[in-house]
Structure 1
Amino acid sequence: METVNVAELVERLGSDEDAVRKMAVFKLQGNIGDPSFADIFIAEGGLVRLRYLTLHASGNTLAYSLTSFSRLLDVDKGWECVDQELVERIVELIVTHPLVNILRGAMSILVSIVSHPYTGNRTSQINNFGFRALKPAIAIYPQFLEMLVSRLSSADHALCANALQLINSLMRDSITHDPEAEWPKFIQKLQDLGVIRAVYVLMQDSALQDLAHPLLEFQSLTKVLLRKWRDIPVNQEKPEHRRALKGIYLASNPEKNPDEATENGDDTRRSRRHHPEKWRRLGFETESPAGEFYEVGFLGMMDLADYVRSHGDEFQNMLLEHSTKPSRQRCPIARASLAVTSILYEHFEVEKSDMDDTKTYLISESRAGFDKLFQPLLLHWTRLHVAGLQAFFRLWKATAAEEEDLDKLIELVRILIESVVGGAARIKDVQDVEEELADFEYHRLRGLQMELLELTYEDAWGQHLRQVREELHHEALQFVKEQRIRSLLQGSWFALDSHSRSEPGPVQKSTATYQYAQLSHNRRYLHFGQFDLMGDRPPELDTLPEKISNVSVNPDHSSTATLKTAPRQPTTKITIHGYAPSTATGHGKGHSHARSGSRTTQKEVVLLTLRPSSHSIASEWLDGLLMLLNQQPITAETSKLIDLVSNYGLKIRLLNVRFDDATFAGEAPQVPARDGLDEDYYYDVFGGA
């Protein structure tokens, strides 16, 4: 870097020629970020001339001056020149000037001024810093905030970043250092100007690298706001809290509710004021609603108030509909609203500050890291609360729930939000999320609940749960094996085609059209015979002329594709291969072991062909024969049945076994006393179904 003569540079800043001043301040912006250079520059009297240019220059000279002044403040120098005149000039530029390069520098200066109480030494009067330093200028230019929010839609990402940084600084200072507690009004003003929607669009943009830091800071500030609102206890002594509760009550339209009426019309007004279920009718547990906001504070009351204000008709219709039902069947609207607020609060981990992890993600993670870190749906808190609350109402109605089922419904809504909101991609629009919450089927949700329950127990018990799965799978296999073999013991009719009747081999030729097969009671012989007609009753076992002893030959089917053929198609068949018996023995149809002759001289033939009339019968007989020989089943239908039985067994055990105390945080429940109970027993969690 070339050596700069600071004294000469300062002299040129005061030149009468604009071109000389422009070149001097252009060179200054590249060097002023060096603290040593800045010290020499100030010692040479350059600060006064830089301030003058900032106040009076135009064009590129002004742009370079603003950038230089901003970089000087970044190294915590030059604060003695920050006064109301300078602040007013910067605010004026932001409101009136169209050039991007001027706006960037102006916003950067205001960010430093607003943030100075937390990042620099207080070398001047405190009123010159923080949000309070801007208030006189904003009073002169009331369109300042509107113009600032509009810059978030600029095509220039650097300008967007500068504008959002300034908004973040104003929000943080207002929330943290507003002695008059006017920050809610300021935040509401920004929201009314569309800051939420603008930042939401930026979060879903593809150019995250340029805006990552200010966007993440805005997300963090959103959590700060939510925490601050939640930490404010609801107090009916405060006028705004009292007004909010009154608004919730009046939105219920008590005049039209049967519960509010009395037999004496003259006492209607008095009874309405003192009705014993004034608040319980709205879904509160008691007649002291303020205390029920303990877990979610003013945030919970805001959410409930926003719902009844924006969905008043739905609110009133539900109250009217439920007023005719017994109290235990009425949907507790207020408690449901508080529960959804709490669920969202936990889902977005509002208590956790994500700014500590931001630097790590920005340094080490790719776009995938950004997708994990950004939570654009957090910005639409109110809409998610309404969608979650309406999902609760839908589930309450679909399950015909009662008051004692409240906790179960809350848990279902928690799983629903974790699945839909937690599973939403960064670029997924909030409207699509709302629709998915509304359309999520109850049975699908219950299935998801069981999967999560299994995963939770897997984490808690690990190897023990895997052992249980193996045991249950073995039990299911034995259960299905017995079911399949009993189908063989019961016997079945099978069709015969012309090819089967005329094919050569040990099977006796016949003109019959049907075949009946049945396993013997001792499970050692498969008996069968051919018939012209199917009788009303199955034939007796001892009337079947043919049999295969030991049933130890290998059952098979012609091909996998054949077995998958649609029911009632004649191509579905099972063939049993074996060795024809020696004519010397003459005992039975076929055996697994010949009684005379060498196996090497025998030829394997088809002993029996079965043509099941349906896919289910084919599965029962094929897998029944295999499992009878202690071989594994091969059809999809049998495998599905084994999994079904095994999974049901696991779910029954999970639903009837509670976690041990080590799994849950908190104190263990007190063991109730019972007369005559001693300690001479044990409880095997996994011992039996």
Structure 2
Amino acid sequence: MESLNPSDLVDRLGSDEDAVRKMAAFKLQGSIGDPSFADMFIAEGGLSRLRYLTLSTTGNTLAYSLTSFARLLEVDKGWEFVDEEVVERIVHLIVTHPLVNILRGAMSMLVSIVSHPHNNSNRMSQQQYGDENGFRALRPAIANHPQFLEMLVSRLSSADHALCANALQLINSLMRDAITNGQESEWPKFIKRLQDLGVIRAVYILMQGSALQDHAHPLIEFQSLTKLLLRKWKNVAVDLEKPDHRRALKGIHLASNPEKKSADGCSSSEHGAGEDNNVRKSRRHNPEKWRRLGFQTESPAPEFYEMGFLGMMDLTDYVRKHQDEFQKMLLEHSTKPAEQRCPIARASLAITSVLYEHFEVEKSATDDAKNYLALESRSNFDKVFKPLLLHWSRIHVAALNAFFRLWKTTSAEVEDFDKIVELVRILVESVVGGAPRTKDVQDVEEELDDFEYQRLRELQMELLELTYEDAWGQHLRQVRDELQHEALQFVKEQRVRCLLQGAWFPSEITMTTTTKTDDSIKPDVTTTTKSQGYKYVQLSHNRRYLHFSEFAAVQENAPALDTLTSKIDLSTVSSVVSNVSASSDSSSGSTIKTAPASQPPPSSSSSPSTKITIHGYAPAASPSAGHKPSEREERSSHKRSGSKTTQREIPLLTLRPQTHSIASEWLDGLLMLLNQQPITAETTKLVNLISNYGLKIRLLNVRFDDAAFVGETPEIPSREGLDEDYYYDVFGGA
């Protein structure tokens, strides 16, 4: 890019030919943002010519001049040439001019003018620009163009994204200046006027739109300003000496459709809320004037202390827009005892507090910088932007109606107030907090209205578990792991003791008989018969061998271990296989496959369907008699016997348990002896039962105040009037 000579550029700006001035203004807008270039441009007298072009030219020359002037103001230079005439010209352009490129520059200039702080040391600025700054500097021009704000809000729906962003940026500057520097009686009127013109709806549409990247920064600033407004309204204390506060409270009372005559014949509407004597008179003639509306006392002003004028605004808005429902509810609850009446005013203030905490209004000032950084990634848009915040009033009404519905559904009383508020808080977190950026506010209102109480209770229980997990999480996980290991070792010992005790298992005994015939023509006759027998199996005391023998019938007394003729060395066992399969309805994921319940139990003619097979490695083939193996053969034989991967598995013993319990004991007992995990549902359930029981015992020694409870510590129940006639059901919760 060629270097520009400021002196030459200033000369061209003063040329009589429009084409020369236009080219000079075009080049100026690309360089004037450099402070060093701006200083040289001003030193050459370029400001006066730039101001002249701003006031007198049209078309592209005007557009380039406005952009150059706006960029000069952005580097905080040229303020001495910003006067009422310049402001009037810019406001006139915004109201009347259709060209987008001119409107962009004009709005950028106004943003700088409104945002420029008043500097008492700048004498030239005071002489030319006057003592007014910010929004007040625009008042004379806006007075001549009353449609200025309306036209500005309409630009928010422009198809040109840059113009739309500039318009919103200017609105933000006007709002911030009005809130920060405006008088207490002025800024609420200005904000209300913007809202009446539809600025909330327009920004809401932009925040839900697809072109969010182009509007991101002014949108996040508008969201921050909305929180600033909420904080400012909250910090305004309700004072009945102020006429607007007194009118708002009186409007709430009149909207309740109070009785026309009190007990002494005086009109209840005549009792005002302003002066002390009126308040005393109202108390004397209508003792429940304010309590019937849901206030706790007959002096309602102090009850707005926490949420300030914001709480009064929300209550007033609900009463004004839903007057019929308000009166109907008051009429219904007037027939109920005092403790069963829903405190409407108190509930409204509580919902305001819930929303205030949910949207983290107090944190906005410190989080602005983080939000701007988060805007660099499109994936953070849904986290940063909260369009529902703009519809604060509608969300408040929807949440308040949910409070009323929960109060009625649960048959709550006044002492249950905090519990209902907590349920609404969970509801807001779930519905409002879980709503995506593009979800319409009407859908959120419907979801708040249709949310089922049972589902809400489930959410509450889940959050309660998370609260305990947060408070005790590390300690609970450590205790659970320890107890799980201890329970597993305990169950292992119990299962192994079952094997040490021994058990009978049905088995089939096959007998083959060969009968020789005298006739040489006919072959010998071989017959095979099967008879039901029983097998007794017992683990040796040293837990190294499994002894067993076949018997024709179950004996009354268990046979002695040394009388059992067969045994299996457990070191040779390779695996234990059973027809155990996964079960979809088992919490542990596995159970024992057995015959259907409709089938009869095992008898002499049928064997159990559950089978446990113990596999082992076949011994190496012994050399033939009289053959002495060579040294090479011995080494090869030893190598084969030492490698289990080359040995062949064969079934060593088959067991047919007759019940679920025996099958679980022997299958998992054998697996545990082989240092494997148990697989049956019965064993898993027993391990969990023991570990959970141990956890309950541990927790019995934990006091309520040992955890980080939020709010008040639960009161420990008194044992006054109790005796020792009680019991504890250990397995009741399993």
Question: Is TM > 0.5 for Structure 1 vs Structure 2?
Answer: yes
* In structure 1, distance between residues paired with 2:396 and 2:23: 56
Instruction: Give the aligned partner of residue 8 of structure 2.
Output: 8
**Letter matched to residue 338 of structure 1:** L
Tell which deviates more after alignment, 100-109 or 119-128: 119-128
Secondary structure, aligned partner of 2:656? strand
Deviation at 1:233, TM superposition (A): 0.5
Identify if the C-alpha distance between structure 1 residues 554 and 3 changes in structure 2 by more than 3 Å, giving closer, same or farther.
closer
Q: Which moved more, 1:344-353 or 1:56-65?
A: 344-353
Amino acid corresponding to residue 76 of structure 1 in structure 2 = D
Q: Distance in 2 between matches of 1:120 and 1:426?
A: 45
2:154 corresponds in structure 1 to 150
Which digits, 9 at most, give the CA deviation of each residue in 1:241-265, with x for residues without a partner?
0111111111111239xxx865x76
User: C-alpha separation between the residues in 2 aligned to 1:652 and 1:336?
Assistant: 40
TM value normalised by structure 2 = 0.70
SS in 2 for 1:254: coil
- 1:23 aligned to 2:29? no
Out of 425, 446, 459, which is 2:436 matched to? Answer: 425
1:355, distance to aligned residue in structure 2 (A): 6.0
Could you tell me which residue of structure 1 aligns to residue 197 of structure 2? 193
Q: Aligned residues: percent identity? A: 66
Question: Which structure 1 residue ranges, 5 or more long, are not aligned?
Answer: 482-503, 510-543, 580-599, 611-617, 672-688
One-letter amino acid of the counterpart of residue 227, structure 1: R
Q: Does the 8 A contact of 1:94 with 1:106 survive in 2?
A: yes
Q: Is the 8 A contact 2:91 2:142 kept in 1?
A: yes
* Contact in 2 for aligned 1:480/1:638 (Cα 8 Å): no
Residue number in structure 2 paired with 1:255: 259
Deviation digits for residues 505-538 of structure 1 (CA, Å, limit 9, x no counterpart):
77589xxxxxxxxxxxxxxxxxxxxxxxxxxxxx
1:66 aligns with 2:56: no
Specify whether residues 266 and 142 from structure 1 end up closer, same or farther in structure 2 by C-alpha distance, changes over 3 A only. closer
**How many Å apart are 1:432 and its aligned residue?**
2.1
In structure 2, the partner of 1:312 is: 323
Matches within 5 A, 1:233-632: 233-255=237-259, 262=263, 273=282, 274-354=285-365, 356-358=367-369, 361-362=372-373, 365-467=376-478, 469=480, 556-557=578-579, 559-560=581-582, 575-577=610-612, 604-605=653-654, 607=656, 632=678
Q: 2: CA distance between counterparts of 1:641 and 1:402?
A: 44
8 Å CA contact 2:217, 2:372 repeated in 1: no
SS state at 1:240 partner: helix
Does the aligned pair in 1 maintain the 2:484–2:687 contact within 8 Å?
A: no
Query: In the TM superposition, what is the alpha-carbon distance from 1:352 to its structure 2 partner?
Result: 1.4
Is 1:226–2:272 an aligned residue pair?
no
Deviations 1:602-642 (A, max 9, x none): 864463567xxxxxxx8x99768878988846459986996
Rounded to whole Å, the distance in 2 between the matches of 1:286 and 1:74 is 55
* Contact 1:216–1:358 (CA under 8 A) maintained in structure 2: no
Displacement of 1:143 in angstroms is 1.1
Cα distance in 1 between the residues matched to 2:295 and 2:288: 9
Q: Is the alpha carbon distance of 1:466 and 1:628 closer, same or farther for their aligned partners in structure 2, counting shifts above 3 Å?
A: same
* Distance across 1 between alignment mates of 2:465 and 2:341: 32
Structure 1 contact 578–604 (Cα < 8 Å) conserved: yes
Compute the RMSD of aligned alpha carbons.
4.5
Are the equivalent residues in 2 in contact too, given 1:84–1:128 (CA < 8 A)? no
Report the secondary structure of 1:236's partner residue.
coil
In the alignment, the residues of structure 2 paired with residue 640 and residue 142 of structure 1 have an alpha-carbon distance, to the nearest angstrom, of: 81
Amino acid across the alignment from 2:378: R
AA partner of residue 251 (structure 2): G
8 A contact 2:304–2:349 mirrored in 1: yes
Q: CA deviation at 1:480?
A: 13
Give the AA of the match of 2:39: D
2:156 maps to a residue whose letter is L
Q: Assess, with a 3 A threshold, how the Cα gap between structure 1 residues 453 and 239 changes in structure 2: closer, same or farther.
A: same
CA separation in 1, counterparts of 2:459 and 2:206? 33
Instruction: Provide the C-alpha distance between the structure 1 equivalents of 2:415 and 2:690, rounded to a whole number of angstroms.
Output: 30
Query: Alpha-carbon deviations, 1:520-566, whole Å to 9, x = none?
Result: xxxxxxxxxxxxxxxxxxxxxxxx9999999xx98954643697999
**Does structure 1 conserve the Cα–Cα contact (< 8 Å) formed by 2:216 and 2:375?**
no
Q: Give the number of aligned pairs.
A: 584
Match of 1:489 in 2: none
Q: Kindly tell me: are residues 471 and 430 of structure 1, through their superposed partners in 2, closer, same or farther at Cα, counting changes over 3 Å?
A: farther
Q: Matches of 2:424 and 2:411 in 1, distance apart?
A: 15
CA distance in 2, matches of 1:506, 1:662: 70
| Mapping of residues 120-139 of structure 1, within 5 Å | 122=122, 123-124=125-126, 125-139=129-143
- Secondary structure at the counterpart of residue 76 of structure 1: coil
| Map of 2:43 onto structure 1 | 43
Range 200-209 or range 409-418, more displaced: 200-209
Q: Which residue of 2 aligns with 1:658?
A: 704
CA-to-partner distance for each residue in 1:169-204, whole Å, 9 max, x for gaps?
000110111136311011011111111111112222
Q: Structure 2: which amino acid aligns with 1:107?
A: M
Closer/same/farther in 2, CA of residues 476 and 661 from structure 1, 3 Å limit: closer
Give the distance between the partners of 1:400 and 1:55, measured in 2 at CA: 71
Q: Cα offset for 1:267?
A: 7.6
Q: Which amino acid aligns with 2:468?
A: Y
**1:65–1:314 CA distance, 2 compared to 1 (3 A):** same
1:400 deviates by 1.2
Which amino acid in 1 is paired with 2:317? D
1:182 corresponds to which residue? Answer: 186
Structure 1 residues 364 and 232, CA, compared in 2 at 3 Å: closer, same or farther?
closer
The verdict on how the C-alpha distance between 1:217 and 1:267 changes in structure 2, with shifts beyond 3 A counting, is closer
Instruction: Give the Cα–Cα distance (whole angstroms) in 1 for the partners of residues 163 and 4 of structure 2.
Output: 30
Q: Is contact 2:307–2:352 with CA below 8 Å preserved after alignment?
A: yes
User: Given the superposition, is the C-alpha separation of residues 341 and 640 from structure 1 closer, same or farther in structure 2, using an over 3 Å criterion?
Assistant: farther
1:6 counterpart letter in structure 2: P
Shift of 1:120: 11
